[in-house]
Amino acid sequence: MKKLRLLTLVAVGLVFGLIGTAFADQTFAPKFTVELSDTKVKGNPDLSFHLEFAREDEEIGNFIGYLPKGFKVAPDEAIAEDTVIGGGDINIAAGPGCHPSFPSDDPRPSIPVGAEFLEKDRTDDEADAGVHSVWFLDIEPLNRVRLLVTGSPKTGWKIEGAPSPSDFTCNPLIVDLTINAKSSGGGEGDADVPIVTNAKKAKNYKFMADIVSQDSPSVAHFEQIIKLTK
């Protein structure tokens, strides 16, 4: 019995040693950029995001994007439930090699996954909390992310959502997503609704994002200037 207990302790120690080694080798230096397809004042652009994590990066725990003051975002009631409002492509490592108990140098094959943004109705609690609209990122079968949009043209906007943790997906991760210029319809009277509308003044605008690590208190902060012209 003593030998069995000793072997069990050794096995547990090895597993936690491997996990500790994997975490020790990790960093948190993701890349992030944002792009508007139309940079004219009062324009109605596609809003595109590019996000990239290297294999050695800690995994994403939360995403917070910020749109500047002056921009407009379509409210919840303007677009019907489950209307397609965007989409994109994701390449992510998946499989047993992602599990924390596996050595950090195990193979991690990447797979391409299509993603779709849908408009979702706010819950009563979300409406009471001041949520303006909900952009639902569907990455089935891997994940789903409910992005909550809060704010106003006077204060600016916050877009926040967290993926569900998984032991069978991991970095490297490359994300290319777009919120379309207009909704695709989906309900009576709501076809071709502008989703994001540019500000009225021609000047430089600061777009920002905070990407939070799942594995540590690390936060990567990004700022990008986009100039609107007449």
pLDDT on residue 16: 32
Angle at 162 between CA 192 and CA 102, to 5 degrees: 130
Least confident range of 126-130, 137-141, 164-168, 189-193: 189-193
pLDDT tens digit string along 87-145? 999 999 988 888 888 776 777 888 999 999 999 999 999 999 999 999 999 998 889 99
In which domain, by residue range, is 10 found?
A: 2-227
> Do 86 and 73 form a contact (C-beta atoms < 8 A)?
no
Query: Where residue 26 falls among pLDDT bands split at 50, 70, 90?
Result: low
At 198-225, the pLDDT tens digits run 999 999 999 999 999 999 999 999 999 9
Using CA atoms, how far apart are residues 157 and 121, in angstroms rounded to an integer? 18
Report how far residue 15's alpha carbon sits from residue 23's, in angstroms, rounded to the nearest whole number. Answer: 13
Rounded to whole angstroms, the Cα distance separating 53 from 90 reads 12
Which position has the higher pLDDT, 84 or 3? 84
* Interatomic CA distance for residues 172 and 60, integer angstroms: 11
In the chain, the N- to C-terminal Cα span, in Å, equals 80
Q: What is the pTM of this model?
A: 0.84
Q: Domain count for the chain, please give it.
A: 1
Please give the pLDDT value at position 185: 56
Amino acid of residue 116? E
Structure tokens at 63: 């995403």
